[in-house]
Amino acid sequence: MKVKETGVSYYGISYPEHAEKDFKEMISHNCNAVILALSEFDIDFWFPNIIKVAKVAKDLGLKVYLDTWGIGKWFGGEPPSIFLTNNPGNRQVSAVTNEQLPAVCFNTKAFQDYFYGICEKLATEVEADGFFWDEPHYALPKSYASITGGAGDDWSCRCPVCQKDFEQQYGYEMPRVLTKEVIAFRENNALEILEVASRIIKNIRPDSKITCCVHATINNYYVKENRGYDDWNKVCKVDAFDVFSTTIISYKLPRSYFKSITQQTVDVARKYGKGSQRWLMNYYQEPDKIEEIKEIAHLYADMGVESLFAWTYRGGHGTVLAAPHALEMWDMLGEAYGEVLSKEYKIK
Ligand SMILES: [Zn+2]
């Protein structure tokens, strides 16, 4: 198996002529793809230039994927949500405390209409190769169970809309504990909105490649994080998804963990005939030796991963989440990509 794709995420997109320089730098770092991380503000305010920036990247030979970054605080990412600002309702609600949480309930019609509208607009007007579903999750996931386990009490969403839907489906009041039915209900709804959005996109742009990227967590018999996308078989079964992806892993974790997550990613992707993608951390944290990025890239390549992506361009240089040696990390990533990317996929 060969690595066919190497890329980074790119945010803060404003001017196509500036982005062009950055894209050329990505190509010189052996990238052949870019994920444009688009916040709600970007989509709302910078839309004309998103179209142009995507075109510049395409013209240079990069594959372009659109990331609905942090939208509704349902997807992963730092950007604030315009929808949440404008809609005091439609929020996820904690099951135990009944508090409204700073994340939209994606089971509400108002948010679904908003999200489908964004997907339709992007698919219609932006010439991209696909979409990237970036760490979708229910709120509260981290309080639940760390990698070392630990029981969690609270979960979401138990808002009036979810409660009503649950009762209609199951015929009794939505419990405050995570029964099997509640887990299934949450997972089904979490996938349904992405499935519908993916179909909307493919109806407009049939060749769009849809990547679903979930948290790289071992959800085993004993520990499950209950983000709603924890059953990888169930996620991979969705027809509208083309690539199954698992997100970055902390460099503080043992390499055996990297291997285990990657094996599971590749296995489940193959089982359902999907492409596989693994992520490298290129911001915030560094391995003990920066060269270790190469070892990890080779590990992923040797295990049969087809697409490698890193968060983010220039190691997050200039942001509060920059890697301590951000530019060195970026250069090392470029070298690593140069070693693993198959020659025929390299942009000349
Ligand atoms: Zn809800």
Q: What is the pLDDT of residue 226?
A: 85
Distance 202 CA to ligand 1 centre (A): 27
Owner of token pair 């690539």? 243
CA of 105 to the centre of ligand 1 (A): 4
pLDDT at 345: 97
Q: Which of 175, 140, 152, 143 is nearest to 222 (CA)?
A: 152
Is the peptide bond between 213 and the residue preceding it cis, with omega within 30 degrees of 0?
A: no
Q: Are strands 33-38 and 5-10 parallel, antiparallel or unpaired?
A: parallel
Q: Do 77 and 134 contact (CB within 8 A), yes or no?
A: yes
Q: What is the pLDDT of residue 152?
A: 62
Give the other-Cβ count within 10 Å of 221's Cβ.
5
Q: What pLDDT score does 339 carry?
A: 98
What is the reported pLDDT for 142? 58
Q: Which amino acid is at 85?
A: T
Per-residue pLDDT of the chain (348 residues; tens, 9 = 90+): 699 999 999 999 789 999 999 999 999 999 999 999 999 999 999 999 999 999 999 999 999 999 999 999 999 999 999 999 999 889 999 998 899 999 999 999 999 999 999 999 999 999 999 999 999 999 986 555 444 444 466 899 999 999 999 999 999 999 999 899 999 999 999 999 999 999 999 999 999 999 999 999 877 777 777 899 999 999 999 999 999 999 999 999 999 999 999 999 999 999 999 999 999 999 999 999 999 999 999 999 999 999 999 999 999 999 999 999 999 999 999 999 999 999 999 998
Chain center to CA of 345? 23
Q: What is the structure's pLDDT at 220? A: 76
CA gap 183, 269 in Å, rounded: 23
Tokens of 327: 């530019």
Residues at Cβ < 5 Å from ligand 1 ion: 105, 107, 157, 159, 161-162
Q: How far is the CA of 184 from the centre of ligand 1 (A)?
A: 14
Q: How far is the CA of 161 from the centre of ligand 1 (A)?
A: 5
Ligand 1 centre and the CA of 111: distance in Å?
A: 11
At position 218, the amino acid (one-letter code) is I
Q: How far apart are alpha carbons 186 and 111 in whole angstroms?
A: 16
Alpha carbon of 115 to ligand 1 centroid (Å):
15
Measured CA to CA, the distance from residue 36 to residue 250 in angstroms comes to: 23
Tokens representing 138 are 């229910």
Q: 243-255 burial string, b = 16+ CB within 10 Å, else e? A: bbbbbbbebeeee
What is the value of pTM for the model shown? 0.97
pLDDT recorded at residue 218: 75
Locus of tokens 């730092």: 78
For residues 115 and 193, is the Cβ–Cβ distance under 8 A?
yes
Location of structure tokens 């920059």: 322
101 three-class SS: strand
Nearest-10 crossing angle of helices 255-271, 292-302: 30
Strand locations in the chain (E): 5-10, 33-38, 63-68, 91-93, 100-104, 130-134, 209-214, 243-246, 275-281, 307-311
At 1 the pLDDT is 64
